[in-house]
Amino acid sequence: MTKRFPSLPALAGALSLLAVAAGLAVTQSAAEEARLVPPPAVDESAGAATETAVLAGGCFWGVQGVFQHVKGVTSAVSGYAGGDAQTAQYETVSGGGTGHAESVKITYDPRQISYGRILQIYFSVAHDPTQLNRQGPDSGTQYRSAIFPADAEQARLAKAYVEQLDRAGVFDAEIVTRIEPGHAFYPAEGYHQDYLTLHPTSPYIVINDLPKVEALQRLFPELYRADPVLVSAQTN
């Protein structure tokens, strides 16, 4: 199933939410989903100068947009993980039968931000980890909540963190985030990259994604940066 956009009768109401872009309002649903969850009790120790994390949490436009505004992140690329290279195209993935999830590959400096802090932002503002195979208006396994660990250590840390949050009862329902090791990441088509920054007045972005960036700034002010790190800036 592809992304659902507001119908024409609903468009006027959606456009009224453009105030979000100016920081004047937040949609009720997004405001309810964002919450500051506790940091992980166990985290990685800084090693290499560069690490990567691959996360899925609904439409990749919003997840990418959030992490492009995080200090210590040097790149955030929208793409696909969980399936084969042959099916890593948007129209195919949108059918829901490829095993892929819309994902974001986050490259970061572990001396500035840890894997655990990346996961804390992921669970706090990037998506709702209690929604099974859907986020907001989008449904299907391609919109599932999933972590694709780069190695056994990331898998261990992710599993321990999910168990920690569930034990603490942070969310009103059980976390359904899947931890799926052993999958390659495939970058998405160019028109999906930097989508939030390039289309800030799109009703879909206004309603579903700009509130996530606002929540990042509000809940993680020490990690927020105003100027996003864009894919286009790195390829020019």
- The pLDDT tens digits of the residues spanning 163-178 come to 999 999 999 999 999 9
Averaged over 117-141, what is the pLDDT? 97
Q: Give the start-to-end residue ranges of the domains of the chain.
A: 48-235
Catalytic residue among 53, 55, 59, 147: 59
* Helices assigned H by DSSP within the chain: 8-15, 28-33, 60-67, 90-93, 115-121, 152-168, 195-198, 203-208, 210-219, 231-235
Please tell me the predicted confidence (pLDDT) of residue 48: 79
Fold of 48-235: Peptide Methionine Sulfoxide Reductase; Chain A (3.30.1060)
59 classed as catalytic: yes
Residue 54 scores a pLDDT above 80: yes
- In tens, the pLDDT along 169-221 reads 999 999 999 999 999 999 999 999 999 999 999 999 999 999 999 999 999 99
- Residue 135, judged by CB atoms within 10 A of its CB (0-12, 13-18, 19+), counts as buried
Please tell me the predicted confidence (pLDDT) of residue 234: 84
Residue 15 scores a pLDDT above 60: no
Residue 4 pLDDT class (50, 70, 90 cuts): very low
Burial 54-85 (b: 16+ CB within 10 A, else e): bbbbbbbbbbbbbbbbbebbebbbbbbbbbee
